[in-house]
Structure formats: structure tokens, C-alpha cells
Structure 1
Amino acid sequence: MSERFSWISGSLAQTVLSFLIVALSACGAPDTSEKVTLPKKQARKVAVIAHRGASGLAPENTLAAIRKALDTEADFIEVDVHQSKDGQVVVIHDATVDRTTNGTGAVANLTLAQLKELDAGSKHDSSFTGERIPTLAQVLKLVKGKKKLLIELKKGEDDYYQGLEDNTLRLIREHRADDWTVLQSFHDPILERIWAADFVIPTHKLIVGKIPFLPVYIDHELKFGGFDRYSKAASINVHRYFASKSFIRSLHNQGFKTFIWTEDKPQNIRELYDMGADGVMTNHPELVERR
């Protein structure tokens, strides 16, 4: 790819991502008086995924949010991982601590001890003051197979984390969590390193969406071609703005499942399941009931 085309590709992807961020912020809060009811016994098993824990109820990616999610009927709890300066796998969404804590700086430039000094709760609500950034080991110990754990491996602010994939797999082995964990990422090099490891574990490929009628899709950048390169992945997970009945059917016909991210309005969650989605990620898993 030429340098000029690479710049255009990245620019377009960033434009789409920026649009989605603005659109998401305009969605408003869910109607908590309404709930989604799913039958306990159904021909097609659909999953509820608690996004960053029950992050509508507690600070995202904290043990408090994990505990809240464990009390819901979610099937999966989704978390994000980065790696500290001293090689510890920590649970946080952004490559920097600025948005979710009282600190500043890149996760990659801070030791675990420094990260543990930060308050990761008060920005959500003062009642969560003192909540800390957890390690993946703490989350695995807390979940302990009570629900499945969907772990998204992230890229650092400037580069990929050296050893993140191996360290994550090692922790999964140590906690005997291979039966109840799934790994996902937007980044192909991360998935490829997982696939190359001598450890079989389910993986999902994250994308923003596919451009209709064209062999073009967006993950963290604009890409050309189909999804054959992800044949080792069990699912292609897409943003809700790009989810449609025809696209979901196309993924199923190619042998993939799909988890849609991220929807909080009960009526829209119901519609996504009706379209054929295999799972929906939501910040409010408490709004979904099984009867």
C-alpha cells in the first residue's frame, strides 16, 4: 500500500470512528423501566454480553462493574486489557489513564504500583471513590467461571505491547479459565500472535463495519477484501450502526457468528436479536431478563 493511500485509509477510518462517537453520545440514556425478555429455552441460543462489566451501573472495567454484571443474567462479561510498564496485564479500556481515573499518562509508561495508586471510580460516581484499576488476574479470580469472560486485547498508544498475548494466555492457563474465556481484538497482528501460540482458545475479530456492496470494511483502518483471512475466528463482531439482517445472514453463511456492539436501549436490543445477532454487548445487562 502506498504511503498516500495508507494515509487516506487511516483518515477515512478515523472519520467514521469519530462519527460513531458523536452518534453514540447523542443516543441518550436507556429507558430503565423497559426490559428485554428472552425465553430461557429457545431454538437459537443468543448471548447477553455485559460491556466493560455492568458499566452503566458502576465504573467501567472495575471489579465493582464485574460484581454488578455477575448479578445479572448476562452470559458474558466483556473487559479490555493493556499492559503496564513492568509487564502486568491490567484491565482498562483506553491506552491512557486520563479519561477514567484521576491520573494522566499512558498505561505503558506506568508500573502496576503506579496504576494501583489511581482512583478509577470517582469519575463515574463519588460512591465509587477508591475503586482501582484491576489486573486481569484479579478479574479471572473474581469471575471464576460463573460467567464467560470476553477479553479484548488492545494496542498501546504508540505501539503493540510486547508479550501481551503470551501473558494473557499464561494467566488463562494459571486460572484454568480456557473453558470460559474468549479473546477478541480489532488488530490482526494480535489475533495472529494468538493463533500462532500453542494454545487453542476461541477468538473473535472486532470490526466497526463493512461498506455495503463493496469488499471494504473498517476495523481500526480501512481494509479491502473479505473475511477469509479470519477463518480461525469464531465470530466477526460489528458495531450496531452497521448491523443489518442481510449482513448478519452473510456472516452466518460464511461460518461466523456475530456479537453486536454496543446497544443500551431495550427495544433496539430486541431488534438486533430479531435480525439474527448471536449476541449483543450492552452497558446495561440488568435490562435483559430470561423467562
Structure 2
Amino acid sequence: MSAHRHPFLDQPGPLAFAHRGGTADGLENTLTAFRRAVDLGYRYLETDVHATSDGELVAFHDATLDRVTDARGAIAELPWREVRAARVAGREPVPLFHELLDAFPEARFNVDVKAAAAIEPLVRAIDRAGAWDRVCVGSFSQARVDRVRALAGERLATSLGVRGVAALRLLSFGGWLPAPAALNAAVCVQVPEFQSGVRVVDRRFLRAAHRRGLQVHVWTVNDRERMGMLLDLGVDGIMTDQIETLRAVLAERGAWPEG
């Protein structure tokens, strides 16, 4: 059992994460997408958060509305009343993060903090919902992860930021350095299989993570063959856009959670 075991990770693995709820019909990060994933049996949902200009916390990946909605503009520069009017794929509203916590009370949420302005609203939303056991926070920015940890403490699960991942990779090759505080605070490491053409996830990396009590979750894996290879390698979780495919792969292995 992990030395850093947290209630967020108390489900039997390998863990299946619906990345942005899945990409069916282009409805990423919408209540419809997440509901579909939950109906398929997903217990772990991945999303992203930004704060509007008036401090409302939205579940949305991009910094702007342009790519996936019928509106335009930077979320950080728009009030909630304007973001609320946007429609993902011309159909679905942008949800507030607390709406997801309320709509899916049994689900766990893996949250990528996309901007510093989202940190305090996120911690408040988790606290108000009493959702400390079912949220894990990560970011490409180690500073953002560290700030979340400073505000929330050990009651919140966090994953490693870039600096922590780099340190873990060095340690996996037998290098030595003073262990960053992040390695002692995080409960998991969430990484791509490859970065800039260089393999990140291999047996050596997995051993280094597991020795430190860290689960390894790999994103974003949409190919059935790669899913199988990573599961054979021993990863602890996979994030995917293709939620039916991952469900089928795990079911074939007898690893899809029942109920």
C-alpha cells in the first residue's frame, strides 16, 4: 500500500479517468459528457479549471472560449454572465466546477489548475462541498501545485508538477539529488507516455515512483494497443478521450469496476 495513500485513491486499480469527460460529439468538459462517462461506469473524471474576471470557477480547458464554443474571448477577462452564455459545440453551457461536484457526488475529480487566479476559488469550492476525499489537483506549474498545497494541506490529494516529475525521472536513472518537497507531498504522478519524442513511462520510472508511494497515471491514451501495453507495464491509471475503448480494454482484463 502506498505510503502516501489518500482516500482519492481508495478504488481498486487500474484507475480509468474520463479525460474532460470524453470527446463524444465535441462536448468536452460539459455536464453531458461527464454524465455519459458516469453512466458508463467511470468513477474518475478529469477536468480543468479557470476563473472568470469576477472570480467564478469554470470547468474548461482552454484559456479562451474560441476553440470549442460559439463565443470568443479570454475567460480571465470575461465576467461569468458572458461565459455562461457560451455554448460548447453550439449546444451545451460551460459548467461551474461546483456544479460538477454537486451533480456527481460519488465521482472523483482530477483537476488541472490552468491559472493562478483559479487556485483560491478551487480550494473554496472543494471546502464548501466537503469534497477533500474526492479531488486530486495537479498542474504543469509546480508553483500552482505548491500554492494549492499551502492553502489546503494534507487533506487534499495532489500530483507532481513538472519539477517533481523531472526529479523523479532523474532518480529513476540512479541519479541523486535532495528530494523536492513535492515528492513527499504528492500521492501520484501524472505524465504522458512520451514527451518531445522521449519516453517518460518505462519500468524504471514506475519502480522509482512506486518506491516513493506514488501512483503513475498516464495521459492521454486513446489507442487500444497502447492502453494494453501500459497496463501490462504496470501503470496505475490511464486517462483517455475514448472512454468506450478504455472501458472495453479493462473489462476484457476483468479490471472494470462493478456496480
Question: Do the structures match in fold with TM over 0.5?
Answer: yes
* Structure 1 residue 201 corresponds to structure 2 residue 125: no
Alpha-carbon distance in structure 2 between the residues aligned to 1:166 and 1:267: 40
Matched with 2:129 is 175
1:36 counterpart residue number: none
8 Å Cα contact 2:168-2:208 kept in structure 1: no
Equivalent residue for 1:73?
41
The one-letter amino acid paired with 2:226 is: N
TM-score (structure 2 length as normaliser):
0.79
8 Å contact from structure 2 (residues 145, 161) kept in 1: no
- Residue of structure 1 in register with 2:208 after alignment: 250
Q: Contact 1:90–1:135 (CA<8 Å) still a contact in 2? A: yes
1:5 aligns to what?
none
In structure 2, the partner of 1:286 is 244
Counterpart residue number, 2:257: none
Quote the offset at 1:254 in angstroms.
Answer: 2.7
Residues 199-232 of structure 1 deviation map (CA, whole Å, 9 limit, x = unaligned): 521111244975998579xxxxxxxx67633120
Q: How does 1:1-291 map to 2 (within 5 A)?
A: 45-56=13-24, 58-121=26-89, 129-145=90-106, 147-155=107-115, 160-161=116-117, 164-199=118-153, 200-207=155-162, 210=166, 228-230=180-182, 231-241=184-194, 242-287=200-245, 288-289=247-248, 290=251, 291=254
**Identity across aligned pairs (percent)?**
27
> Residues 63 and 213 from structure 1, CA distance in 2 versus in 1: closer, same or farther, beyond 3 angstroms?
closer
Q: What SS does the aligned partner of 2:62 have? A: coil
Of 274-283 and 192-201, deviating more is: 192-201
* Length, aligned pairs only: 227
Give the match's secondary structure for 1:138: helix
SS in 1 for 2:159: strand
Native 8 Å contact 1:207 1:238 kept in 2: no
| 2:86 counterpart SS class | coil
Asked whether the 8 Å contact 2:48–2:60 carries over to 1, the reply is: yes
Query: Which amino acid letter does the alignment assign opposite residue 13 of structure 2?
Result: K
Larger CA Rg, structure 1 vs 2: 1
Q: Distance in 1 between matches of 2:94 and 2:169?
A: 42
How far apart are the structure 1 equivalents of 2:221 and 2:74?
28
Q: Give the TM-score normalised by structure 1.
A: 0.71
1:143 Cα deviation from its structure 2 partner: 1.2
Q: Is the 8 A contact 1:102 1:119 kept in 2?
A: yes
Name the SS of the counterpart of 2:40 in structure 1: coil
After superposing on structure 2, the runs of 4+ consecutive aligned residues of structure 1 that deviate more than 6 Å are none
In structure 2, runs of 5+ residues without a counterpart are 1-11, 195-199, 255-259
CA 1:211–1:87 in 2, change beyond 3 Å: closer, same or farther?
closer
Q: Contact 1:238 / 1:261 at 8 angstroms: preserved in 2?
A: yes
CA distance in 2, matches of 1:192, 1:214: 21
CA distance in 1, matches of 2:80, 2:95: 10
1:70 to 1:111, Cα distance in 2 relative to 1, 3 A: same
